[in-house]
Each structure stands twice: as structure tokens, then as C-alpha cells.
Chain A
Amino acid sequence: MAADPPTVPGSKPRRPIPPRLMPDRTGSPYHPTTARDAAARGAAGLRGQPTSSEVIAGLRATSHGDNLIQLLSPEGTLTENKDFPIELDAELLRGLYRDMVLVRRFDREGNALQRQGQLSIWVPLLGQEAAQIGAGRAMRPTDMAFPSYREHGIAWCRGIDPTELLGIFRGTDHCGWDPKATRFNCYTIVIGNQVLNATGYAMGQRLDGTVGAPEPDDGESRNEATIVFFGDGATSQGDVHEGMVFAAAFDAPVVFYCQNNQWAISEPVGKQSRVPLWERSTGYGFPGVRVDGNDVVACLAVTRWALEECRSGNGPVMIEAFTYRMDAHTTSDDPTRYRLADEEQHWKLLDPIERVKVHLSRQGMADQEFFDGVGAEADELAARFRAHCIAMPKPPPERIFAHVYSEPHHQLGQQQREYLDYLASFEDDHEDATPGKVTR
């Protein structure tokens, strides 16, 4: 059998890459913004102003209706709700404030890193800090969380270092943390998929007998719950429907936590549903609650209640956190094409962090030194986040073939060997292409 001449390692010259084959990222949404790009986009934005019906839909979404659970008003006034009791002290409130400030700070840094070409894309959570910190702090370590891809605040509460979120958006990994050890699944990008996976996990919790067990006299309860995060757009997905059907059929201890941020990229929530989203739960036969998603205290109290319902065997439960996506869908999006700045201004007055700050100040629970300290800590976090991002190396080519399977796979093994031999056949071993150890 004839074969190609044997390849001598390191002998093959690399051909210069013709310019037309170099990746041209000008005009790509991933390309760092230049003044010219911005000008071009501005013109497009003018041409693509929101229609009157889009404006009406957006403004209608600012009305939350009569069933909103709110404990801390936008003006910083605290009220009680006997259905969702919560013991609050200064330490807890200061902690929630700190969480939100830090998360917002590294989220803004993510946007900046994308603009500077250090990240391909960033998915901002601006405006949704309370919805996420409230839910995240309601969880016990033994509970399991299934995020979508905007859940940086939940990740924070699960002990994921913000730098571990970067690889997904820099293109160095698909998941920078151990989802099993942290009980925080990998980000799921296909809209709604994770709702079924979470339901299955919760079915497993029930099969394991870690739901509804009698509370022990000594020590922590063994009972667990699962919480799954998705958006208003996802509620149109079949997987969300099927997840709710399966959860009801198997009494699965899962909290369906919908962050209704009013916009699925350019489509207002009115395009997804004729009824308030929380009301859908009645169709599946389990309770639903609409909570002020910009009120961290209410989100904490309602999610604590919902998780406990699930742990004690009364799940599933749906929560709609009524909030607002203050920034674009991602750094590739341009909201000026489909919504008015007036709408953003309305929601700015409902800011999740400001109301906690006002309350802390007015009640004498925190002084200027505290706020300055949190601000300094946030800046330090952002600097560390940035430095880590810029220093992240390209993974070695072996990573392509790693962990495709848990057990050996001869076909992939052969493809990897062939590709590494091919790389080694070039004389000027490109630094990035140097086979190295897969770091993880």
C-alpha cells in the first residue's frame, strides 16, 4: 500500500497566510468597537427606531399588576408580609448590599473587557442583581442550581469566583467551574434545556428520599431542593412546558425561578404570553408567586419559602421575579433599535441597590465608611477580574479531544495523535500550537 512520504517532525515550512484567509472581524459583533463602527451603528439605530406598538408593549411591561410581593420599596421602606416572614438584621442587609455591589462591579468590568477585545462577548446582568442575590442567598449548600447564562449573581452566591466565569466568554473553556462540587451546573445556552435537566435532578432527589423527610432532632435536615433559572423568553420553549409537566407528575422538589426582565433580546414579554407569567403555574397545578425582582429582601424571603416548600415535599413552585434588563441582551446587541430610553429611566428609579443603601443609611445600619469600603473592595475585585482575564492563555490543542467521553475512545485517540503529529511536522512551532498539558 502506497503512503504519503513519511513526515519528518519539524521539517515542514509554514506557508504565509494570505490576507483574505485571516479572520476579518471588522463589522463582527465581537470586534472591539471603533468610533467608525459606533457611528455606523448609530445610523442604523435611527433607521430602526422602535415601532409604536413596541413602545406600548415596553411601557406596559413596567406595570407589575396587583400581585407583586414587595418588602423593601424603591424608597427604602421596609414592610412585612405574613406569608413571607423574614428576620432581618443589619449584618444580613449589609451582606446583601455588598453582594450586589460586587456583582454589579465585575459585571461592568465584563462589558469593558469585551469592548477592549479581551472577551468575545459578555452577558450583562445589570438591573437583575437583587433577583439573583436574593435567590442565591436563599439556597442551602446542599441545594442544586441550574443556571441559564446570565446568572453571574447566583454563581457568586455558590462560591464560584468571578474569574471562573471568564473562560466561556473569552473562548478558553465551556465551563470554568466544577458543576458537581459547587452544585451550580454549567451555564446552559440553548434556551430552556436546563429546565428539564433540573427537573430530572429534582426527580432524583425525591427518589433518593432527601425530600420531605422528618426534621431530625439534632443537626441539619437532609432535605434538598433544586432551583432552575430561566428568562421570560424561555417560557415559550417546549422544554420549560415539559419541565413543569414532569415536575408536577413526579412531585419534583424544583423551584422554577423565572427572571422576567421584560425583553428576550428585542421581543417584549407580551410576545411570549397573554397572561402574567406567574399565573401559568396554576395550569400545571402548583403555586406561583410574582415577586419584585428589584427587591433583594423579597426575593430572599420568597425563594426561602419556595425552597422550603420543595424540601418538605410540597414542590414544585414557580417564582416570577419581575425585573428589568438595564443593559443590552449581550454586548453584541443594540437595544436602541427596539426600546426607548424612557423605559430604562423608569426602571432606573427602581434600582435594586439604591433602595438597600437608603434603608441602611436611614436606619443607621451602615455608615459612609462601610459604603466606601465596599466600593474599594469592588474596585479591587474588578482589577483582579481584569488582570486574570488578560493573562488567560489559549488552551493547548489536546483540549479539543479531552473529556468528549468518560471512557477511552480509539477513534478520537487516533484523531488526536494524527493532529498533534501534523502540528509537530512544522519547523516553526507556533507558540500557541505547542502541545502542552491540559490545565484544569
Chain B
Amino acid sequence: MSAGTDPSIDAKPVTLAKALNMSLRAAMEDDPKVIVMGEDVGKLGGVFRVTDGLQKDFGDHRVLDTPLAESGIIGTAVGLAMRGYRPVAEIQFDGFVFPGFDQIISQVAKVTYRSEGAWSMPLVIRIPFGGGIGAVEHHAEAPESFFCHIGGLRVVACSTSQDAYDMLRAAIACDDPVIFFEPKRRYWEKGQLDPTAGRTDTRERPPGCFSSVVRRPGTDVTVVSYGPSMLILHSAADAAAAEGRSLELIDLRTLSPLDLGPVLQSVRKTGRLVVVSEAPRESSITADIAARVTEEAFYSLAAPVLRVAGFDTPYPPSRLEEDYLPDLDKVLDAVDRAMGF
């Protein structure tokens, strides 16, 4: 892949969607076994244009417009992976993954275990997730916890253009199945992208897909999130700084397995933790982080672990989604409460 030598790409910030598109292109150029499949991914380039131009350049044998059936997409991707391909399957919206849920849980996650390693399952399932786009029902959900509960899957979520590029390449290179969540309301946010970052050879697997990262150092409260809410955390940290409070921000990136090292290290310093996610609160990633930080850093905590999350309701009509989603005030309110102990 020559993206790293193209100065026009290095110089300009690119949207998160474009970064994903570049990542797919680079992976397809490097490995003829990488194929893209899904509904409307060909000529249309996907409803979010993430696969734009790929079918034109790689052909309809590398970019497969599939019949409109999610179980079919996932189930045939399993067979293609058994045949030696590295399918990247697109689910059009979060709420449409459930017809394919059976194949994900019963086959994708278990094929390697069942066969005692005879089959690997190098399959990436891309899912645009989360709300905030004023959509109709089933287009704004955050179903990541369902997948985190299943042994055999890896689950990640990107939040920046650089990560979108690096993490998707790493997910495609991984021999395990990866559920790849893309923050759909941040598709058009621009960010710096260096396709060669951290590597000497662009064919190498980029680092960082399966680890968490401190986005901003701080001393008073640790605030952890992933995907679309990371932008809110940055605003919150700015606002808190104006009030003299220092927030340390952590982007989880990997949701399964969790990489709690940076979180624990941070909590041992700040003693206060707020976890933020759009997903319903109960039996969620935020719940798991609270439990595990309590298990492993109990005596470092100066306050209970607090959560800012979606309600335990179906996703509301979009005119109400501002009330449902985490926002600046909700995060700062949790920070205030954490400081109040």
C-alpha cells in the first residue's frame, strides 16, 4: 500500500468514514483474500459511503452486494472464512444485526473452539452504532454488550480517524472474529490520519486495536468511555478545566477483552471514576468496569464508581434522544458527584 507515501493524504485531516474507507482499501490491496460483503456496499458504496469506490476498483468478486438477509451475510461469511478468505461484513445499522445474531453467537464465536483450532475465524463484522442522528427506530442502538458477553468474539469501537484506520486494519489482520463498532454520528468528524503511524512497513499490523489509551492526562477524576461519547468527554474536560478540575480521559477502544490496565493505573492516581456509554445501564460494559475496578482497586477509590449511560428502555423517538444520550451536563454532573464524596 502506498498511502503512507502520498503526501496529500498525510497532510489533510480526513473524516472517520474516509479513514475506514482508506483502511479497507489498504487491506484489500495488501491481501487478495480480504473481501467486503453486505447490503448496498457495491455501487452505492454503503449507506454511509464507507465502502465507496471499492467495488469499482476491486471488482464485484471482491466487493459483494448480498441479498437482503443478515443471517445470510454472517452465515456465508463464516463459510468464506473457512475457505481461507478474510471477509469484512457490513451490517447496515446496529438494530439490524439481530437476524444475524444466531450465526454470530452459534457459529462465528464457537467455530474455533468447537474444532479445537482447526478453523480460525478471521472475520470482521462492521456495525455503525449509537444515536444522535435523528433516525427512526432500530437505527440508533448501542448493542455492544450482547457481544461482549460471548466468549470467542472480540469487540472494539473506534472514536478517531487514526483509530478507525489502524483498528480496522488490525481487526482484518486478526485471526479471531472482531465485532467492529463504528460511531455513526462521528462518521463526518475530521481528524489527522497518518497511515504509517507506529510502523515502518504499512503491511505490518497497526498497534492499538486491542488496548485502551489515555487520551488526556489529569489528576482529579478518571472518565472512561469509547466510540461516539469520546467527543463529549473532551468537551467535559475543557469545561472542567475552566472550573479548575483536571479530568483524565481514557478511550477503551477494546470492549472485549477489556484492557483495564490504564483504567486501574488512572484510578489509583485519581481515586474517582466515571464511566460513560450510550448503552442501557444494567448488565452493561459500564457495569462490568465498575465491578472489576471495585475488585481490583477498592482501597484506591475515594468515591463509588459512577455511571452515565442510557436508560433501560428501548431507544426513544429521536426528538427525545437528547434526554436519553450522555451529554456534557450529565458527565459534569457525575464528575461533581464523584468529587462530592
Task: Spell out A's residues near B (CB within 8 Å).
Answer: 1-2, 173-175, 178-181, 185-186, 188, 190, 193, 195-205, 207-208, 238-239, 242-243, 245-246, 249-250, 402-407, 409-412, 440
Contact = CB atoms under 8 A, between A and B. Distances in A.
Contacts of A410: 257, 259
27 contacts: A1-B298, A174-B110, A174-B116, A180-B115, A190-B107, A193-B102, A195-B75, A196-B71, A196-B72, A196-B75, A199-B79, A200-B79, A201-B80, A204-B84, A204-B85, A238-B71, A239-B102, A242-B67, A246-B66, A246-B67, A246-B76, A403-B113, A405-B112, A405-B176, A406-B117, A409-B257, A412-B257
A404 B85 CA distance: 20
Given A199-B79, A203-B79, A409-B257, A2 B299 contact: yes
Given A186-B111, A407-B175, 18 more contacts: A178-B115, A181-B118, A190-B107, A196-B74, A199-B72, A200-B80, A201-B80, A204-B84, A204-B85, A242-B72, A246-B76, A249-B66, A403-B116, A404-B112, A405-B152, A406-B112, A406-B175, A410-B257
A405 B66 CA distance: 28
Contacts of A412: 151, 257
B319 interface: no
A193 B118 contact: no
Among B76, B81, B117, B257: residue with most chain A CB under 10 A: B76
B76 A196 contact: yes
B67 A197 contact: no
B83 A204 contact: yes
Nearest to B64: A250
Contact of B76 (A2, A175, A200): A200
A428 B300 CA distance: 37
Contacts of B64: 250
B288 to A, nearest CB: 11
B79 A186 contact: no
A403 B117 contact: yes
Contacts of A246: 66-67, 69, 72, 76
Interface in B87-146: 99, 102-103, 106-107, 110-122
A402 B71 CA distance: 27
B113 A1 contact: no
A181 B259 CA distance: 36
B297 interface: yes
A239 B104 CA distance: 13
B113 A186 contact: no
A200 B75 CA distance: 7
B82 interface: yes
A197 B78 contact: yes
A265 B84 CA distance: 36
Contacts of A404: 112-113, 151-152
B107 A1 contact: no
Contacts of B35: 207
Given A193-B102, A193-B106, A407-B176, A201 B118 contact: no
Main secondary structure of the interface of A (DSSP, over half): helix
Contact of A200 (B78, B117, B174, B297): B78
B79 A196 contact: yes
Contacts of A190: 102, 106-107
A341 B107 CA distance: 38
A179 B115 contact: yes
A193 B75 CA distance: 7
Contact of A180 (B67, B118, B175): B118
Contacts of B110: 174
Which size bracket describes the interface of B in this complex? 35 or more
B79 A204 contact: yes
B82 A197 contact: yes
Interface string B239-271: 000000000000000000111000000000000
Contact of B75 (A239, A406, A440): A239
B69 A242 contact: yes
A347 B44 CA distance: 55
Nearest to B117: A403
Nearest to A173: B116
A249 B115 CA distance: 29
B77 interface: yes
Given A193-B106, A406-B175, A407-B174, A179 B119 contact: yes
Contacts of A174: 110, 113-116
B152 A1 contact: no
A199 B75 contact: yes
A411 B257 contact: yes
Among A190, A200, A201, A208: residue with most chain B CB under 10 A: A200
Nearest to A405: B176
Contact of B297 (A1, A188, A197, A405): A1
Contacts of A207: 35, 61, 80, 83, 85
A201 B82 contact: yes
B162 to A, nearest CB: 23
Contact of B116 (A200, A208, A238, A440): A440
Contact of A186 (B85, B114, B151): B114
Nearest to B300: A1
Interface string B15-29: 000000000000000
A246 B66 CA distance: 8
A316 to B, nearest CB: 13
Nearest to B176: A405
Given A193-B106, A196-B71, A245-B72, A403 B112 contact: yes
Contact of B79 (A198, A242, A245): A198
B133 to A, nearest CB: 29
B83 A186 contact: no
Among A2, A246, A411: residue with most chain B CB under 10 A: A246
Nearest to B151: A404
Given A196-B72, A406-B175, A407-B175, A201 B79 contact: yes
Contacts of A403: 112-113, 115-117
A197 B299 contact: no
A411 B154 CA distance: 11
Contacts of A203: 76, 79-80, 83
Nearest to B107: A193
A179 B118 contact: yes
Nearest to B114: A174
Contacts of B121: 406
Nearest to B110: A174
B118 A239 contact: no
A412 B112 CA distance: 15
A440 B61 CA distance: 37
